[in-house]
Amino acid sequence: FCVAVVSMYSKLTGSSNSVVGVTVLLAVLVLRQADFGIRTTHGLLSIAGIFGILMAGPRLANIVPPLAAFAVNAVCILLLMILGCHNVIMYQSFLPFVLGYLLLLGYDVTEKEYTFRVIGLLVGMVICMIVFYKNQRNRAYRRTFLDLFREFDLKSARSRWYVKLTLIVSSAMLFMNLLGLPRAMWAGIACMSVCLPFTKRL
C-alpha cells in the first residue's frame, strides 16, 4: 500500500515530487489513529494549517539566505508543533508532520513542479480531512483550536519541548547551510529523532 501510494504520487506529480506521496502517506497513517486533543471539527483547521505550512514554508526557506531561512524554519516548525503535538503523550504520531516538512525542504522544486507539488498536497489535505473526520467524529473534547495557542506557556514542559526541538533542528540546518554542505535536512531529521519530550526515552 505504501509503495502504491508513493508510486501513484510520483506518476501524477512527477518523480521529483515523490516526497509529497511520502508526506501525505505519513499524515494519513497518523490521522487514521490519532487526534489533536481538540474538537474534531476544529482538528480540520489544524490539518489545513499544517498543510498550508508544508506548501509554503519549505519553498520560502529555500529562496532566502541562510539566516532568513533559519527564521522561516523556526516559525514553521514551531507552528507545526503547536498545531500537531498538543497531546505530548502521542508525540511519536505527530512528529511525522515535522519530518514531512524537512523532506519537502530537502527535496525542493520550482516552477511547474512546484505547482504540481501544491496540487498534490492540496489533494492530500482533503484526503486527510476525510479520514480524520470519519475516524474521530465521535470523540468529544472541550478544547478548541484557539486553545492550542492559549495554552502555549514557556512554564510548561510541553511548550519548552516545542521551543527546544524547534531551535535545535533549525540551528542544525543553519550550521549545515553556512558550511555549504548539501541536504541540510538530514541534520535536522537526526536532531529531531533524539529531541524527545521525555528524557528517559532517549
pLDDT in tens, the chain (202 residues): 888 888 888 888 888 888 999 999 999 988 888 778 788 889 899 999 999 999 999 999 999 999 999 999 999 999 999 998 776 666 666 678 999 999 999 999 989 999 999 999 999 999 999 999 998 888 777 788 888 888 888 888 888 989 999 999 999 999 999 999 988 999 999 999 888 877 776 6
Tell me the C-alpha distance between 112 and 177, whole Å: 26
Q: What is the pLDDT of residue 58?
A: 96
Q: What is the pLDDT of residue 90?
A: 62
Contact 191, 169 (CB under 8 A): yes
Tell me the C-alpha distance between 25 and 96, whole Å: 10
Q: Where are the beta strands (DSSP E) in the chain?
A: none
Cβ within 8 Å of residue 54, ≥6 positions away: 23, 97, 100, 101, 104, 121
Q: How far is C-alpha 30 from the geometric centre of its chain's CA atoms?
A: 12
Tell me the C-alpha distance between 144 and 150, whole Å: 10
Output the CA angle 157-56-92, nearest 5 degrees. 35
Tell me the C-alpha distance between 139 and 10, whole Å: 35
pTM greater than the 0.75 cutoff: yes
Cβ within 8 Å of residue 178, ≥6 positions away: 66
Question: Which of 121, 53, 104 has the alpha carbon at shortest distance from 82?
Answer: 53
Sole residue written with cell 487514521: 32
SS3 110: coil
Q: What is the pLDDT of residue 88?
A: 66
Burial of 129 from C-beta contacts in 10 A (0-12 / 13-18 / 19+): middle
Helices vs. strands in the chain: H and E counts, helices first: 9, 0
